[in-house]
Amino acid sequence: MSQRHSLKDRVALVTGGGSGIGRAAAIRLAEAGARVAILSRTEEELREVCDEIGKSGGECLAVVGDVSDYASLTKAVKKIERSFGRLDTVFANAGVNGVWAPLDELEPDEWDKTLRINLTGTFLTVKAALPLLKKQGGSVVVCASVNGTRMFSNTGATAYACSKAGQVAFARMTALELAKYKIRVNTVLPGAITTEIEDNTERREVEDEKEPVEFPAGAIPLTDGKPGSPEQVADVVLFLASDAASHVTGVDIFVDGGQSLLQG
């Protein structure tokens, strides 16, 4: 690994670090030399990821927490400070697909839950981490999506898409606001990725609402339709966290193999 991509002596927080993209990012950041704190509501998953990082010679701190609960996040950051003494990188990755349904079927509390975890959770995560980040500067990477930014053809995903569009706006606003503290804020936007989040999506009455979308064969041009991997997203997160991206802020990087260029 090049020196520019090294995270030696740095500390990273990954929310939603127990599975999928968060897990892959935590492992990749640890491989680059970072001491990694991973936060999730599922303790067993956290232990498994920390064990894997530890077996490879890395340092990992498991923190059970909830990104929709500010008190939980401030407690987590204090634990990181006690354990590692600093915080350089935040990967705000925790999120849910939530309920996908037509507007007349989508309940207000379902809308609120999706926005609370995805968008408010990003705000609360960065806000809680800010006092430590300000001490020496650092990098914030927000995990948004092609949905709500380039793609609008997933019928019923209104709450999810709005939460992801909001994350992009949040990242751009804070990139400018926090630049004076040498804190960079960027967004990674995955397309179809092989993770478990799709299995946790509740879809209701969306088939009749779909508009036909036609595009050339191979919905993901680079791979002839094959979804990307969490590790491919993690590679971009590492770049944005490292000095290789030292002059990069307020940028959106799509990791979708060209999918959103066809399906928007």
> Which residues are tagged catalytic?
160
Closest CA to 60 of 85, 35, 91, 42: 35
Q: In the β-sheet with 138-143, what is the strand arrangement from edge to edge?
A: 60-64, 35-40, 11-15, 89-92, 138-143, 183-190, 252-255
201: which strand partners? Answer: none
According to DSSP, residue 113 is labeled H
Annotate 166-216 with three-state secondary structure: HHHHHHHHHHHHHHHHCEEEEEEEECCECCCHHHHCEECCCHHHCCCCCCC
Which run of H or of E encompasses 21?
Answer: helix 20-31
CA distance between the termini of the chain: 36
Dihedral (Cα; 106, 172, 262, 194), 10-degree rounding: -70
